[in-house]
Structure 1
C-alpha cells in the first residue's frame, strides 16, 4: 500500500468497492455513512479529501465512484482483508463467522512481505471462506454469472458462490445446514417468505432474508 495511505481512507475505499461488487448501483454518501456507522458530515469531509487525491469521482449530492487509482487502492485493501480471513480459518482455527472483525484490524497492520508469505503458504487462494474473490497482486478479480438465491426461480440448480459475512448468526445457521461456498443447491419452491431447497443431500427451508445472503451460479 502507498506510504500515504491511512486506515480511514482504506476503510472508505473498501466499502465503496464492496458496495458494487455484487450489484450495479453506485453508493450514495448517506449509504456510505450508514455502512461505516459515522455521521454524514464526516463522510462529506472525507470524500472531499479523497476526491482531491484522485481516489473518488463525486459531484455534490450524487453517488460515489472509484477512479482507476481508487479502485487499485481498494483492491489492495480487499486483497489484504480476504487473505487474512482465509489464513485465520485455515491456519489459526477460527470459524468463518469469527474472522471479519479480526481481519478489519490486521489488514491495516501487516507488511506486504508478510502478506505475500501468507498468500504463498495458502497456495494462492482465489476465494476467501465466504466465497468472495481474493484479488491477485496484479489487481485481477475472478467473477462468474450469479443470482441471489432469494431471486432464483423454482427448479433452478446452482453452486453456492458466496455467502455474505455481515451476520455471524446467518453463517452459523448455514454451516449447521451444510450450506457453504461450493455446495450445489436446487430451489424446489419459492412461495411467500420461504425458499425451499435441496442442499447437501437434504431438503430444507430458508427465510427469504437468509436466502438473500446467498449467491449461486446463474
Structure 2
C-alpha cells in the first residue's frame, strides 16, 4: 500500500550535513567537553541538548552544558550557512511526490533556527506541508517515537500510512517505534550506521527515488 505522507529527516537526508557534524564533533566539540573518546555514532540523530545528558550519564564531562550547547550553535552557523549541499535531485523528488498526491513533511531533531537556515538557503520553505522540530514537543528525541507520533498528528495521517526517510540508527528506530514504515538512507558519510530495522535501504538519491515513488 502506498504511503499517504512522506516524512524526511533533515541532516544526512535533505542536506549532506552529517559528514560535517561527525568531523566537527569528533575533532572539536567532544574532545573539548568529554573526558576520553566517546563514539559519536551513538548520538547521531539525537537532539544536541539531549546529547549532553546522554554523555554525562556515561562519561566525565569537562565542559558545562551551556558551553556544550554554545559550541553546537556556533558550528551550526557554519555548517548550514556555508558547507552543506542539497541532496542531488531532491527538489525534483519532492515535486514528483507532490504530483503523486503525497503529504510532505520535514521532521528533525534540530531546532527551528537551524532548519530555517536550510529552508531559506535552498528555497524550500514552500516545499513541505509541515516543518517539525523536536523542540516543539515536551518529549524525548529520537530513538524514542515521540517526534514521529507528533508528526503524524500534525500532518493528519495515521502512522501506518506514513513513511519516514532516515539516515541514522536512532532515526529509523524512532519511526518504527511510532508505527511507521522507514526507509534508511546511506548518505555517503564516513559513518556506517546500522539501518537493518528499516523496511528498505537506499544507497543513493536514485535508489531513494525509486523506493519512494515505487511503493
TM-score > 0.5 by shorter chain: no
TM-score, length basis structure 1:
0.28
Instruction: Tell which has more relative contact order, 1 or 2 (C-alpha 8 A, sep 6+).
Output: 2
TM-score, length basis structure 2:
0.29
Larger radius of gyration between Structure 1 and Structure 2: 1
Higher helix share: 2
